[in-house]
Structure 1
């Protein structure tokens, strides 16, 4: 598979320095996800913390989702135009302000406005960190490993946030969570300013627009695959709680499922990454089959969950999802590390990350499907999403096997 790997516009730092910078950024990403209470507990706060009820919480979550989609585009643009350091400092500072605002406002109109702002700042660090990885690490396999670890850090951080946030919200209220979230964002901004050198936009590279980026058919195909795959992956935090509620299981049962998923992520990520990526300078396996395999496993895991009725059954389904999550992370990381040009890495990552934002919206209809057709209908819908993701990998592979269709030189063509 012939793919044009990105080349850095500046001289690469020494290998040890590069590893240190990447490790610090990935650790900071894990930290900011682990304290992402403003994003994860928005619905609970609007419904219970301020007493506006579940309808208002649904409106706030919808506003959040809209902001999330728009925020990825902004983050990619800032990263490519201003550099990773400036983008991270600006965006994480805005994230902190949004979290502090959430700790202060109580009226529904203000909460809806803050929800949009929170969405705008959700995952805004990913495009900049991905661009820093691509610019810093010289080898294809090294970039892929780092990109995959970035996704791993996000998954672990989300699990930590859910567990710790529930405890502190119960004992100390929601506002302390939002202040902690703000402090974590500010800490990330400080880290970015310390470890990343300022990088003005390259004068040798013409600015790239989203219109040009989206002319790349490989990006369009992989985004479609990502949306369908992430609908299944998001089932862990959207579908499974609904099913557990339908079974009358307590919140501790969901905590058990999340704990099982987190332990499986920690145990399975290192060996599976060694298997899929290898230890050399090039990735061991083509990433499209890995992506298709990941989508299939995600579909299997969430379909198994649809027919469970016990805490143990849901925990097993949550563990089955993990190899799919890892395959997905490795494949997406390989795509970003090999197909995204230096002048547009932020935009490429923003588009793929935006797929996650889009995938967070369809599962809201699972409740309607559960009422209309029961668990068989839920299982059919989720299995169809996974099957569609696998099928879309075929045109993706065909596009990638024809480099002339996605090489950056073609952007200038009408």
Structure 2
């Protein structure tokens, strides 16, 4: 990928190349997700680790999702207003504190409070890392590959977290996992302080508001598609634990399914990236059809999962999800790379990540649907979500066709002039 540093470099040391910064940030993002035991095992800890049951776990995940929505808005604002280094430092320190607090929480009110703060820091790093990628790489295809790798690192990290953490939790309990999670977050703080430049961004980066960026119809349509597609994708770490707990399966079963997902991601990502993005400087295909295909595959995988009762069945469903995850990652990466005006990458990434946060809210509804209508009702709800995501890709394609990046920058400038 092309990784020439632009003027006003993001690097902390002149000898450090833009390529090395991008790879360090991607590796750190993977490490944070792989060590994200507090996020992945929150439902198991609330349901069985503290004995509050499945309904309480669903409530904790719902509160977690509310915090995620709030946290993304704040992280995008911090990134574009105060700079990538400051945003990562502040937010990852808060994330570490939330992880340490979870290790001591036992009562349901305390668990729900901690779940809110965990959600607020769940994707705290992503707007800053996305902004750093867009600053470091010039070509559309190069940025898309790097942005897609950011989502790939998240998928691999989450799956590895489930695989490793499931076995550790089964034999040694949960609290040690949460402490490790906090230490990993502190490690990311040190990385940010080491590789990113200090100080606020340029004045251009401080001009955009959420009101202005949401004037972009393409952002609104891709946000809608992302909400419903991510209901299916998020099901891997939220719906699956609820279903497996209802089947009486231990955490090791969840770990097995996540290992199957991880291996499939590692095998399928390189060839699918070559097909969908290519090796050149320009994108090979429009992003809307890729997003539609990914949404359909995500819906298929999680619908299959809803009808399973065995570790093998859940593992197969986790594998079916993988091509959808990759298509989704490429499409979202292409959008962030080509549609976000300069100085608004943090806001754009925060809106997309907030869509994922909204998608994390349904677990309580899924738990209620499981009790009320059983597996067929859960499967129908998830399939409907995938269908809505696919349908939203058509107006998204129209919006992208009629608006190019210069037009969007002009729109934002005009909106800024009109804002009192």
Q: Give the TM-score, by structure 1 length.
A: 0.91
1:237 match: secondary structure = coil
Question: What corresponds to 2:284 in structure 1?
Answer: 284
Residues 163 and 254, structure 2, Cα contact 8 Å, conserved in 1: no
Bigger Cα displacement from structure 2, 359-368 vs 269-278? 359-368
Q: What do the CA deviations read for 1:334-380 (whole angstroms, capped 9, x no partner)?
A: 00011111211001101101111111112432233333333333222
Counting only pairs closer than 5 Å after superposition, residues 26-37 of structure 1 correspond to structure 2 as: 26-37=26-37
- Residues 286-334 of structure 1 show CA distances to partners (whole Å, capped at 9, x for unaligned) of 1111111111111122223333444333322221111111000000000
Q: How many residues are treated as equivalent by the alignment?
A: 408
Partner residue, 1:400: 400
Aligned-residue CA RMSD (Å): 2.4
After TM superposition, give the deviation of residue 239 of structure 1 in Å.
3.1
Q: Does structure 2 conserve the Cα–Cα contact (< 8 Å) formed by 1:9 and 1:342?
A: no
| 1:10 maps to 2:8 | yes
Structure 1 match to 2:113: 113
How far apart, in 2, do the equivalents of 1:95 and 1:206 lie? 25
- Shift of the 178–92 alpha-carbon distance from structure 1 to 2, 3 Å rule, reads same
Q: CA deviation at 1:205?
A: 5.3
Shift of 1:8: 5.8
Deviation of the 1:35 alpha carbon: 1.1
Residue 131 of structure 2 corresponds to 131
SS of 1:215's partner is coil
Moved more, 380-389 or 332-341: 380-389
After superposition, the C-alpha distances for 1:136-176 in whole angstroms (9 at most, x for unaligned) are 01111111011111111111111121122223333333222
Q: SS state of the match for residue 401, structure 1?
A: helix
The 2-side partners of 1:275 and 1:15 are apart by 34
Change in Cα spacing, 1:31 to 1:359, as seen in structure 2 (3 Å) is same
Superposed displacement of residue 53, structure 1? 4.7
**Secondary structure of residue in 2 paired with 1:348:** helix
Q: 1:294 to 1:10 in 2, by over 3 A?
A: same
SS at 2:280 equivalent: coil
**Cα offset for 1:408?**
2.6
Q: Contact conserved, 2:269 with 2:326, CA < 8 A, in 1?
A: yes
Is the 2:36–2:161 contact (alpha carbons within 8 Å) kept by the matching residues of 1?
yes
Pick which of 179-188 and 157-166 moved more. 157-166
Does structure 1 residue 378 correspond to structure 2 residue 381?
no
Q: Distance in 1 between matches of 2:201 and 2:323?
A: 39
Q: 2:302 matched to 1:302?
A: yes
1:169 aligns with 169
Structure 1 304/132 Cα, relative in aligned 2: closer, same or farther at 3 Å?
same
Matched, 1:267 2:260: no
| Structure 1 residue 100: Cα displacement | 1.9
- Note if contact 1:68-1:354 (Cα within 8 Å) is conserved in structure 2: yes
| Aligned 8 A contact 1:238 1:363 in 2 | yes
Q: Which residue in the other structure is 1:216 paired with?
A: 216
